[in-house]
Amino acid sequence: MTLVIDGHPFAYEMENLCRLFFPHGGIRTVREESGDGDQIYTGAERRADGILLSVRARLGASERGRKKLLPAGTEDRELERCMAVELWGMLADLSGVRPAWGVVTGVRPLKLFGRIARKRGEAGAAAYFREKLLVSPEKAELARMTWRNQRSLLAQARPDGFSLYVSIPFCPTRCAYCSFVSSSVEKAARLIPGYVELLCREIRRTGEITGGLGLKLQSVYFGGGTPTVLSADQLAEVIRTVRQSFDFTFCREFTVEAGRPDTVTIAKLAAMRVGGVTRISINPQTLNDDVLREIGRRHTTAQTLSAFALARRHGFGNINMDLIAGLPKDTPESFRNTIAGVTALSPESITVHTLALKRAARLNREGGSPGPQGAEAAGEMIAFADGALQERGYRPYYLYRQSRMLGNQENTGWAKPGFENLYNVFIMEECQSILACGAGAVTKLRDPGSDRIERIFNFKYPYEYISRFAEMMNRKDRVTEFYGTAGG
């Protein structure tokens, strides 16, 4: 498909809107119309009587178009919104699909909600989402509830605070939907000892830098991959290094993703307890064994239940569980059974993701089906989860979106009051610096005196992280330089 951008600078947003309706096809952006193939035109013409916005589409045998005249002095942000509304409306009429988030295509809709709420109030922001951005009443209400619940969490971000992310990019197997930089243990086991040694060196160096700058650690998050794919001794070594390298006086939480139930053992739980880990994730994704086999997970529902019970017996009183709506072979009925099974365990938090068909994922490369009822089924699953979790006392506290999400849905973190995860809120709302260690990790520096954000990228793959470690470590000096110019 060809997207024509004529007389305006909104190519990025228009392309993202087109992907809502055509998530699987390629989109080529050009500046001039042609007479061949499927084509969507977006244009802005500045005239004496104002600015004329035009959108039209030629898709197979169907053609449609819309126009809107705006005052000559209309600002670019409002021009972009109006063009997005016209394009969304035209494509919705053509396709019969009305994406629930309207013209909101960004990863962080709550940042937008908050910006509007500061001017119009909470109710005004919800109304703006519905009326000006075409967000469905249900999603506008979800945004309002989540924004309200996370406000007290955002207030805990110190100007001199930071969070630490530690990447363990190894998994027992690679899930069919996964596009993260992770390596299966079968292929990369020989790299793990050297990786752990260098990771600990990077952690110590990061501790030296933050200590010298007087920064205060507020949260720690071990992610991956699957951190508990490490041996108990290796996991203990990394945790001990973090403890020795940072001052934990102001640290509120320490999370380790024990994501795969088949990696959870008594020895690893003991290592985490001794190391002061306060929160873990045990992530079934589904309690349907047929779906687990389809997506390449080797654990079973029975192992999930066993791992959860084991963690409870060993004193973990703050457990998160991740679920995914829209997995291949899953149905709304089996997803409801998963929700019932997980809530019966009463974990402190549940994160409900929507399947995102990323290009790098095996599921996408092999043309796997996202489920027997596709996007409609995913929407039904998400709607059920939202209602069921609220009924059981969970509250939404963070929310984000990804490209190519099935049915244009969202990922939402739900928690019992008092068990919200600060790290999830801090990183998603970009309210403080995140110092990241390990392969594929990205340090995100935020100037406490402004909205300026700068990223420092580590090498993606474990073999590259190991072979080019000295080069990567030199990039850490940028943290000190950044804070030396912060607020200026």
Tell me the per-residue pLDDT of 271-323, one tens digit each, with 9 for 90 and over: 999 999 999 999 999 999 999 999 888 899 999 999 999 999 999 999 999 99
- CB–CB of 215/162 below 8 Å? yes
Which pLDDT does position 177 carry in this prediction?
Answer: 62
Minimal CA–CA distance to 282: which of 298, 306, 248? 306
- pLDDT single digits (tens) 238-260: 999 999 999 999 999 999 999 89
Section 100-104 average pLDDT:
96
First to last CA, the chain: 45
- CB–CB of 51/72 below 8 Å? yes
Which pLDDT does position 216 carry in this prediction?
Answer: 98
10 Å Cβ neighbour count for 261? Answer: 24
Minimal CA–CA distance to 222: which of 191, 250, 243? 243
How confident is residue 371, by pLDDT bands cut at 50, 70 and 90? very low
Q: Output the average pLDDT for the chain.
A: 93
- pLDDT single digits (tens) 406-415: 889 999 999 9
* Cross-strand pairs, 47: 50
Which pLDDT does position 439 carry in this prediction?
Answer: 96
Q: Is the pLDDT of residue 364 over 70?
A: no
Amino acid at 470: A
- pLDDT single digits (tens) 431-475: 999 999 999 999 999 998 888 999 999 999 999 999 999 999 999
Which pLDDT does position 365 carry in this prediction?
Answer: 53
Exposure string over 372-389, b if 16+ CB within 10 A, otherwise e? eeebebbbbbbebbbebb
How confident is residue 372, by pLDDT bands cut at 50, 70 and 90? very low
- CB–CB of 451/183 below 8 Å? no
Query: Residue 234 and residue 228: Cα distance in Å, rounded?
Result: 9
Which pLDDT does position 481 carry in this prediction?
Answer: 95
Which pLDDT does position 179 carry in this prediction?
Answer: 58
Q: Is the pLDDT of residue 219 over 60?
A: yes
Half-sphere exposure of 249 (CA within 13 A, CB side): 6
Section 157-174 average pLDDT:
92
Two structure tokens written together for 315: 């004193």
Section 45-66 average pLDDT:
94
Amino acid at 3: L
Which pLDDT does position 61 carry in this prediction?
Answer: 86
- CB–CB of 421/438 below 8 Å? no
Which pLDDT does position 186 carry in this prediction?
Answer: 64
Section 7-21 average pLDDT:
94
Two structure tokens written together for 223: 């992610």
Query: Residue 28 and residue 198: Cα distance in Å, rounded?
Result: 43
How confident is residue 34, by pLDDT bands cut at 50, 70 and 90? confident
Half-sphere exposure of 49 (CA within 13 A, CB side): 4
Q: Is the pLDDT of residue 66 over 60?
A: yes
Minimal CA–CA distance to 289: which of 271, 308, 302? 302
Among 32-41, 145-154, 237-246, 416-425, which stretch is predicted with the lowest mean pLDDT?
A: 32-41
Higher pLDDT, 382 or 361: 382
Structural domain spans, the chain? 2-95, 109-153, 156-474
Q: What is the 3-state secondary structure (H, E, C) of 191-210?
A: HHHHHHHHHHHHHHHHHHHH
Query: Residue 452 and residue 287: Cα distance in Å, rounded?
Result: 42
- CB–CB of 463/474 below 8 Å? no
Percent of the residues in the chain that have a pLDDT greater than 70, as a whole number: 93
pTM score? 0.93
The fold of the 156-474 domain, in CATH, is: pyruvate-formate lyase- activating enzyme (3.80.30)
Exposure string over 315-354, b if 16+ CB within 10 A, otherwise e? ebebbbbbbbbbbbbbbbebbeebbebbbebebbbbbbbb
Query: Residue 412 and residue 375: Cα distance in Å, rounded?
Result: 17
Which pLDDT does position 369 carry in this prediction?
Answer: 45
Section 70-79 average pLDDT:
96
Q: Is the pLDDT of residue 368 over 70?
A: no
Amino acid at 168: I
Domain 2-95 class in CATH: alpha beta
Which pLDDT does position 431 carry in this prediction?
Answer: 93
Q: What is the 3-state secondary structure (H, E, C) of 349-399?
A: EEEEEECECCCCCHHHHCCCCCCCCHHHHHHHHHHHHHHHHHHCCCEEEEE
Q: Is the pLDDT of residue 373 over 60?
A: no
Query: Residue 320 and residue 337: Cα distance in Å, rounded?
Result: 18
Minimal CA–CA distance to 238: which of 143, 327, 170, 334? 170
* Cross-strand pairs, 453: 446
